[in-house]
Amino acid sequence: MKRPQHIAIVGAGLVGCMLATLLARRGHMVSVFEKREESATLTNSTGRSTHLAISARGWRAIEAIDAGPEVLRSALPLKGRRIHSANGMEQIFQPYGDDEQAIFAIHRNVLNRILARICASTAGVTMHFSHQCMHVDASGGVLELTNSLTGEGLTVQADYIFAADGAFSKVRERATGSTRIRSAVQFESFGYKEVTIPVATAASLEPDAMHAWPRGEVSLFAFPNPDRTFTATLLAPFKGPNGFTNICTAEDVERVFAQRFPDVAAGQLCAELLANPVNSLVTVRCTPWTIDGRLALLGDAAHAMVPFLGQGMNAGFEDCMAITEMLDQHDEDFRAVLSRYEQLRKPHCDAVTTMSANTFDELTKQVASAHFHLKKQLERTIHRLYPERFVPPYELIAFTHVPYAEVQRRIEQLDNIAEELVRRIGPQGMQDENTVEHHIQTYITELTGDACEA
């Protein structure tokens, strides 16, 4: 192995802590700089979502740092979604995968605390809280930081720098070298508010699932907590007739819930809903991800996405695993790794960012359309008839390690097949299962050969 390198990581969020632990365990000296105070890093101070779903891609990294048992103790398995009907009378359970498969919901702070503690106790890691990175000279490997407690400036020299400082990355914005990073930060016209559904109201909600009230522009989602409460996320446009600007009194809240979520007692949530801030949703696309073979972006700093597939952190953990696997292949040569990193990861992160945006679009625009439901119904039947060849999109994303770009290709293929079948069968034909199966089998036979190989 080459000599241990001095690695500087900006950001002690989920991804920064994960990478620091993985690199220090390989024998490198890792300094982590986090702008928040130590206590704030370990409590809920980000104003971000309180819940995260961990799926297979994220688990792989969690297991690689032996955090699995501790994370499991604080996480709840979710086996599917429970969709609440518009009249509030029915619930449909949609399993995420087979009986054995689950994603895991965990409080963001709890996970960050576990990862930060493991990171801080790993030999070779030094954590510097209250240190905000202001500027990076990538070619020289130099970071300029400000200690927010004393106001003093600090200059640090490192062999390699990783920026895990989130969607609004200062490193991405300020880093200089032989090139600058060009980025597009897209703010959605939708935002979200989080509220706690108390135990009394939550009693009718099964804790084995994510609950969803998908009502287009104004939708509600709820994740169970270990204390039997639920954390609900209300999604709505910032402005307009359905916007948060029109959900600002107790009467507004009662009206919106009575119209859209009649089985959720609004009274219990009202005060919190009115008091809590509206959070933004952003998508970040940027290039290059590396400068001068010494600086690399990862996690949300490189690829923040809307959260409707629950993959942002999972993709960030996949970045960490990709870096360590390349270090294996290149005998710890970071320069060789950084020269390949963007080429290896960006196409997949672009793909999952696009798939997340498409899911957002489905949720806010298409979920009410009959055409959309026919296609989803067809996709389920195609999977039942050809379980190996056509795996449902969410299963591929959440329970496999199939690269995201390949997942995207397969999803598009299935979508095209469903689109053509809707055209062939028509809404009337969809009533009869035999007709549907006959059309599917005929069409798939027509498509035999490469075009249809999943």
Ligand X SMILES: Cc1cc2nc3c(=O)[nH]c(=O)nc-3n(C[C@H](O)[C@H](O)[C@H](O)COP(=O)(O)OP(=O)(O)OC[C@H]3O[C@@H](n4cnc5c(N)ncnc54)[C@H](O)[C@@H]3O)c2cc1C
Indicate whether 147 belongs to the interface with ligand X (CB under 6 A). no
Q: Which residue in the set 8, 13, 79, 289 belongs to the binding site for ligand X (CB under 6 A)?
A: 13
Our finding on whether 35 is near ligand X (CB under 6 A) is: yes
# of chain residues touching ligand X (CB under 6 A): 33
133 φ, ψ to 5°?
Answer: -80, 130
By C-beta, is 192 or 213 nearer to ligand X? 192
Instruction: Single out the segment in contact with ligand X by CB under 6 A; choices: 50-58, 200-208, 242-250, 415-423.
Output: 50-58
Residue 301 CB, shortest distance to ligand X, in Å, is 6
16: contact with ligand X by CB under 6 A: yes
Minimum separation from the CB atom of position 161 to ligand X (A): 12
Residue 47 CA to residue 33 CA, distance in Å, equals 20
Is residue 141 involved in binding ligand X (CB under 6 A)?
no
Pairwise CA distance, residues 98 & 23, whole Å: 35
49 part of the interface to ligand X, by CB under 6 A: yes
Instruction: Give the Cα separation of 355 and 307 in Å (integer).
Output: 10
**Beta strand pairing call for 209-213 and 153-157:** unpaired
- Tell me how many degrees the CA angle 279-283-286 measures, rounded to the nearest 5: 140
| Distance from C-alpha of 9 to C-alpha of 378, rounded to nearest angstrom | 47
Q: Applying CB under 6 A, does 10 fall inside the site for ligand X?
A: yes
Q: Is position 53 an interface residue for ligand X (rule: CB under 6 A)?
A: yes
Q: How far is the CB of 381 from ligand X (least distance, A)?
A: 29
Asked whether position 33 contacts ligand X by CB under 6 A, the answer is: yes
103-132: contacts with ligand X (CB under 6 A):
132
- Judged by CB under 6 A, which stretch of 61-69, 308-316, 327-335, 390-398 contacts ligand X? 308-316
Site track for ligand X across 285-304, x = CB under 6 A? --------------xxx---
Q: What residue number has its CB nearest to ligand X? A: 13
Question: For the chain, how many helices (H) and strands (E)?
Answer: 16, 19
> Which residues in 187-206 contact ligand X (CB under 6 A)?
192
- Measured distance CA(133)–CA(301) in Å, rounded: 13
| Contact call for residues 21 and 125 (beta carbons, < 8 A) | yes
Nearer to ligand X, 135 or 383 (CB): 135
E strand or H helix that includes residue 297: strand 295-297
Which range of residues in 31-39, 249-257, 260-268, 378-386 is near ligand X by CB under 6 A? 31-39
3-class state of residue 134 by DSSP? strand
Gap between the Cα atoms of 386 and 377, Å rounded = 14
**CA–CA dist 269, 389 (Å, integer):** 45
Burial readout 163-191 (b: 16 or more C-beta within 10 A, e: otherwise): bbbbbebbbbebbbbeeebeeeeeebebb
Q: Which of residues 256-275 bind ligand X (CB under 6 A)?
A: none
431 vs 437: CA distance, rounded Å: 11
Cβ closer to ligand X: 113 or 335?
A: 113
- Contacts with ligand X by CB under 6 A lie at 10-16, 33-36, 48-49, 52-53, 58, 132-133, 164-166, 170, 192, 299-301, 307, 310-314, 316
